[in-house]
Amino acid sequence: MTARPWWQSSVLYQIYPWSFQDSDGDGIGDLRGIATRLDYLVDLGVHAIWLSPIFPSPMADFGYDVAEYCDIDRRFGTLADFDALLASAHARGLKLLLDFVPNHSSDQHPWFVESRSSRDSPKRDWYIWRDPAADGGPPNNWISDFGGPAWTYDARTEQYYSHAFLKEQPDLNWRNPELRAAMLDVLRFWFARGVDGFRIDVLWHIVKHADFPDNPINPGWDPAMGEMHRVFQLHSTDQPEVHDIAADMRAIADAFGREGDDRVLIGEIYLPVERLMRYYGLAGEGVHLPFNFQLIDAAWDARSLARMIAEYEAALPPGGWPNWVLGNHDRPRSATKRGPAQARVAAMLLLTLRGTPTLYYGDELGMTDGVIPPDRVRDPRELREPGLGLGRDPVRTPMPWDDSPHAGFTRGEPWLPLGGDWRERNVAAEADDPHSMLALHRALLSLRRAIPALAVGAIRLLEAEGDVLAYEREQDGERIVVALNLGHDAAPVALPAGQPILSTLRGPLPSSAPSVLRPDEGLILKVDASA
């Protein structure tokens, strides 16, 4: 394991800074707050933390509209606070990753202010400007991911600018060499400061077709899907030129890395598997981990999951390392989608598959989507397309630490309401319960650290029937079998001889491999050497 990059045997933990821990009573989480909770993360057993954006921003999209790439938003603290957090994390053996937002900036970024000032501005071409169509409307039919045209008219210069998201998030023009150099310098700035890597926001979006043709109409579009799906994003995303940019980013990361202390790049890419694999690069010159989001929306069916795992593993290029995600700041929480019992099974799946898993803050507690009253909605996506269930506020509610006022998250009024069950489902309550979701995560993460087969071993799917998904992990002759009952009834299972070492359910472990899994049970078995 020591010869491998650290991120291959690691578990990543995503922190949404707004919601993790507030230190100054303004109701918004901050860097000093995160620093006070590092020991919790060490005890949990994760290896690295990824912070969603913390850069100066007007917060039209909660930090994904960056107004300055090389500083810290005062809501979260200062560069000195960041340096202190980084040093504290490293002192505890934790890596720290930042969120790089390369597709767009804020419309208040000085670059865009200058670009917008005149058609003759030296930075005009740092963003994507086009003349109106013949009828005076937008240049093409591209649609923002938040609904409405992906173009906004600027009356002063009589052109439209492109924005894949809000109009306050103008798209950067990565075809311009000066812009490209400036953005790559952002990576160098933070790497030089000591960060261990980046999650790269909407990587597949950052280059658009040079001729800006219309996107194909989606004949199966339903308004309930959200307006962005009215067209197929054929020409506005996933262009061939993006891979050269990813290679440049990779070269910078590799240049700052050294043996035993690699830097890592993780790409946010929502694409089918065969297109996702291209982001590894032809010879390992792409991102290290193109995020694999399949589990988030997967049908909770054992046979479907087995096929998905097999097809994903088979698609990996030589040297490509797998990764898995159950939830994030944009998608419904696992416990909401699957219920509390199967959320435990899903956690065992996530943390025992081959590859690098990412945990979303609070999922280790079994947090569910919060209920946001209409007058407390903050998410621009929900405000623009209300009633479709696309809002992201419910998965961004504050972390519940205890049953004190405001759940120990803040002394003030939280920026979003707490989840409905925070008095019972919080860190303090679950820490004292050996059968809690938190206890299960700690046990799973401890096993990953103790058993190389679970961290970096090979995977082999085992024959199973009905609601049972089973697979073996193996490393240097050590064999571990994971058997998951995805159903609510007892299920027969044929397991090799061995010793059960962890179940998702209460009660004593059987002395040998059982022939039946209990309803909603996940089981980890250490296979006998003679089996």
- Average pLDDT, integer, range 394-403: 98
Same domain membership, residue 477 and residue 419: no
- Residues 42-89: pLDDT tens digits? 999 999 999 999 999 999 999 999 999 999 999 999 999 999 999 999
Which residues are designated catalytic? Answer: 201, 268
In this structure, the answer to whether residues 141 and 190 fall within a common structural domain is no
User: What distance lies between CA 489 and its chain's CA centroid?
Assistant: 32
Residues 16 and 132 both lie in one domain:
no
pLDDT tops 50 at residue 215: yes
| pLDDT at residue 241 greater than cutoff 90 | yes
> Is 437 within the bounds of a domain?
no
Query: What pLDDT, on a 0 to 100 scale, did the predictor assign at position 1?
Result: 42
Residue 197 three-state SS: strand
Supply the range of the domain harboring residue 264: 8-103+176-208+243-430
Give the neighbor-by-neighbor strand order of the sheet with 12-15.
Answer: 289-290, 264-267, 197-200, 95-100, 48-51, 12-15, 356-360, 323-325
For the chain, what is the mean pLDDT? 97
Can you say how many angstroms the Cα of residue 61 is from the centroid of all Cα atoms in its chain? 16
Whether 23 maps to a domain, the answer reads: yes
pLDDT at 261: 87
Q: Are residues 152 and 292 in the same domain?
A: no
**Distance between alpha carbon 183 and the CA centroid of its chain, in Å?**
22
**Domain end residue (candidates: 383, 398, 430):** 430
pLDDT at 284: 85
Q: Categorize the per-residue pLDDT at 198 as very low, low, confident or very high, splitting at 50, 70 and 90.
A: very high
CATH of the domain at 499: 2.60.40.1180
DSSP for 282-311 reads TTS-S-SEE---HHHH--S-HHHHHHHHHH
Taking the whole predicted model, whether its pTM rises above 0.85 is answered as yes
- Short-list 371, 366, 358, 273, CA closest to 320: 273
In a domain, 131, yes or no: yes
User: Percentage of the chain with pLDDT > 90?
Assistant: 97
**Do the domain assignments include residue 35?**
yes
Q: Write the DSSP assignment of 333-379 as a string of letters.
A: -HHHHHHHHHHHHHHHHHTTSSSEEEEETTGGGT--PPP--GGG---
Q: Is the pLDDT of residue 479 over 60?
A: yes
122 and 150 housed in the same domain: yes
Is 79 part of any domain?
yes
Q: For residue 167, which amino acid is it?
A: K
- 245/179 Cα distance (integer angstroms): 12
**DSSP helix/strand/coil, 382:** helix
- Does residue 217 belong to any structural domain of this protein? no
Q: Residue 310 maps to which CATH number? A: 3.20.20.80
Instruction: Evaluate whether 396 touches 329 at the Cβ level (below 8 Å).
Output: yes
The closest of 291, 285, 112 to 200, measured between CA atoms, is 291
Q: Which of 526, 515, 517, 445 is nearest to 487 (CA)?
A: 517
Token pair for residue 334? 């696992």
Domain with 156 in it: what CATH number? 3.90.400.10
User: Could you report the per-residue pLDDT of 309-353, keeping only the tens digit for each?
Assistant: 999 999 999 999 999 999 999 999 999 999 999 999 999 999 999
pLDDT tens digits for range 96-146:
999 999 999 999 999 999 999 999 999 999 999 999 999 999 999 999 999
* Cα separation, 203 vs 399, whole angstroms: 28
Within a domain: 303:
yes
Q: Of 1-5, 271-275, 419-423, where does mean pLDDT reach its minimum?
A: 1-5
Q: Cα–Cα distance between 46 and 13 in angstroms, integer?
A: 7
Whether 121 and 93 share a structural domain: no
Distance from C-alpha of 529 to C-alpha of 514, rounded to nearest angstrom? 18
Q: Which residues face 96 on adjacent strands?
A: 49
Average pLDDT estimate for 11-40:
98
Query: Two tokens at 223?
Result: 């308004």
CA pair distance 183, 177, nearest whole angstrom: 10
Q: Judge contact between 34 and 24, C-beta under 8 A.
A: no
Same domain? 523 vs 401: no
pLDDT at 408 over 80: yes
Q: Are residues 92 and 52 in the same domain?
A: yes
Same domain (yes/no): 30, 52: yes
Closest CA to 252 of 263, 267, 240: 263
Average pLDDT over residues 356-375: 97
Total Cβ atoms within 10 A of residue 178:
12
Q: Mean pLDDT, to the nearest integer, of 229-241?
A: 97
Q: For residues 514 and 491, is the Cβ–Cβ distance under 8 A?
A: no
Report the 10 Å Cβ neighbour count for 144: 21
What angle separates helix 334-350 from helix 437-450, to the nearest 10 degrees?
Answer: 30
- The span from the CA of 152 to the CA of 168, in Å, is 10
Residue 167 belongs to a domain: no
31 with 125, same domain: the answer is no
Boundary-marking domain end, from 430, 462, 483: 430
Q: What is the pLDDT of residue 487?
A: 98
**Are 60 and 198 found together in one domain?**
yes
| Burial of residue 269, with CB atoms counted within 10 A of its CB: 0-12 exposed, 13-18 middle, 19 or more buried | buried
Cα distance between residue 93 and residue 87, in whole Å: 10
Q: What pLDDT score does 444 carry?
A: 98
How many domains are contained in the chain? 3
**Residues 67 and 145 occupy one common structural domain:** no
Position 260 pLDDT exceeds 80? no
Mean pLDDT of 178-206: 98
* In the predicted structure, residue 2 carries a pLDDT above the cut 70: no
195 exposure class (CB count in 10 Å sphere: 0-12, 13-18, 19+):
buried
Structure token digits, residue 292: 């694999």
Does residue 384 carry a pLDDT above 60? yes
